[in-house]
Amino acid sequence: MTTRSVLITAAIASAVLQFTACTPAEQPQTSRTEPTSSVPSWTASTSATGQVVHISVAAAAGGDGSAARPFRTIQQGVDQAPTGSTVLVSAGAYAGFAVTRDGVTISAAPGALVSVRGGGREVIEFDGVSGGAIDGLDVTGSQVRYGSGVKIDSSSGVVVRNSQVHDARTFGIVVVQSSNVVLQHNEIYGNADGIEERQASNLVIRANRIHSNLKEVDSGRGQEGINFYQSTGRVIVEWNSLWNNGTHFEVYGASNLVFRYNHLHSGQVMETGTTSGLPCAHNVFVRNVAYRGARKSGGLILRCAQDMLVAHNVLDGFDQFAFDVIDGLKGVAYGGSVERLRIVDNVVVRGRAHSIDSALPKSVVIDYNLVSNAGSTAQYGDFLCYVGGKGNARTLAQFRSWTGYEHHGISTDPRFVDGIHHDYHLTTGSPAINHGIVVLGESFKGTAPDLGRYEQR
């Protein structure tokens, strides 16, 4: 290993620990077709246990929640349900409700279409509770500005799964100052922001389909798949499919985010920023696939990315850049520190790979990437990289001479199985095989990790 490699390995040690500490005990299997066929099935801890309270829209007044005499509204059920019980809802359309009791699960009856809409600012709200869930509901979001379809506020251990949350004026799901929340196997669409989390910790966003969130609310909010606002504790975002959002991931003064195994297209991949003085620190973006898709779009805008690791991703066909890096402390709007940012072991094809808009701190590492613009139809696809004050570079050697980056980078065809149809597995003999540097603490075949999303097995 070269001296340069040793230095890079030392710099990323903390990110290795962060990634491996939250890796699932059983590594999810990947298939050759994404997005949804590669998503593993998890079982959330929301099975119906304890007492069952029954709800039917056709029930007579004066019910007691039994199977023979169900309640008519969900609100009646959650108001009467004891801790650890399940409110089982028959098919029909229901008004929104608020949950203030611990450990109550609201679930659609097997095979039932349960539609929930209306109510106040929030259609469904968990407020100050420990435990509880919704399972299998179809939620039409609030039409009140800054309202939501589902709000989880000052709570812990709440699960939202197997549900559709859609067509809110602002938020599909919003999680506020809550912990140990799981959002899993949902479809979230037609909102201004699909999901927003504010100052949350130990949040898991897993295996959701988040798309077509294109409404605007105000000058600073809207057209976002997921917005992360001033997160403090760990947030894991994994195995999700996002498409047709303005920006898939918006990171605003948020730290300790882990993005992995996601499938993204038709939207800006990520934008980071802050105005609060809070850093965007120790975020990890690894083993994701992102491509241009049907809409003009860009990759990652990194103006606030302290101690961030971006590794083992595939980015394909973006119009302006795959990685746009700016020293956010040099008078840049919404800027923050990018000290010790590492961009390594990625494969970038059919577009301009790097846009370096300012001189960067010496601690920034950009190396061990495969970049190629061959066959590009992107807006700036004639060029491989851009450097502020220099212009566009057509070759990796020119970019290297201007910046000193990509000392071990290569520019060649990665030889995917079928890149045109987004199968980014590597074929035998790919130059990306054994060309990486160890950053994730994962096992690998051969003398070194492979570049890109998939390690050849």
User: Any alpha helices (H) in 35-109, and if so which ranges?
Assistant: 74-80
Provide the residue range defining the domain that includes 225.
Answer: 3-426
How many domains would you assign to the chain?
Answer: 1
- Inside any domain, residue 256: yes
- Inside any domain, residue 445: no
What is the helix (H) or strand (E) element at residue 316, kind and residue range? strand 314-316
Locate 422 and state its tokens.
Answer: 């987004």
Give CA–CA dist 266/157, Å, rounded. 33
Question: Do 35 and 241 contact (CB within 8 A), yes or no?
Answer: yes
Question: Do 394 and 372 contact (CB within 8 A), yes or no?
Answer: no
Question: Do 236 and 22 contact (CB within 8 A), yes or no?
Answer: yes
Give CA–CA dist 297/244, Å, rounded. 10
- Inside any domain, residue 435: no
What local confidence, expressed as pLDDT, does residue 48 receive?
52
Tens digits of per-residue pLDDT, 404-434? 999 999 999 999 999 999 999 999 999 999 9
Q: Which of 229, 235, 231, 175 shows the shortest CA–CA distance to 205?
A: 235
Q: Which of 289, 272, 276, 209 shows the shortest CA–CA distance to 243?
A: 209
Q: What's the CATH code of the domain at 173?
A: 2.160.20.10
Question: Do 279 and 337 contact (CB within 8 A), yes or no?
Answer: yes
Walk along the chain (457 residues) and give the pLDDT tens digit of each residue: 443 344 444 444 444 445 554 444 333 333 333 444 344 444 434 445 579 999 999 999 999 999 999 999 999 999 999 999 999 999 999 999 999 999 999 999 999 999 999 878 999 999 999 999 999 999 999 999 999 999 999 999 999 999 999 999 999 999 999 999 999 999 999 999 999 999 999 999 999 999 999 999 987 789 999 999 998 789 999 999 999 999 999 999 999 999 999 999 999 999 999 987 899 999 999 999 999 988 888 999 999 999 999 999 999 999 899 999 999 999 899 999 999 999 999 999 999 999 999 999 999 999 999 999 987 887 777 889 999 999 999 999 999 999 999 999 999 999 999 999 999 999 999 999 999 999 998 899 999 999 999 998 7
Give CA–CA dist 390/392, Å, rounded. 7
- Inside any domain, residue 456: no
Classify burial at 90, counting beta carbons within 10 Å of its beta carbon; exposed 0-12, middle 13-18, buried 19 or more: middle
Residue 251: helix, strand or coil by DSSP? strand
- Inside any domain, residue 41: yes
- Inside any domain, residue 127: yes
- Inside any domain, residue 457: no
- Inside any domain, residue 262: yes
Amino acid at 165: V
Question: Do 315 and 338 contact (CB within 8 A), yes or no?
Answer: no
Provide CB contacts within 8 A for 267, sequence distance 6+. Answer: 225, 242, 243, 244, 245, 246, 247, 248, 293, 295, 297
Classify burial at 457, counting beta carbons within 10 Å of its beta carbon; exposed 0-12, middle 13-18, buried 19 or more: exposed
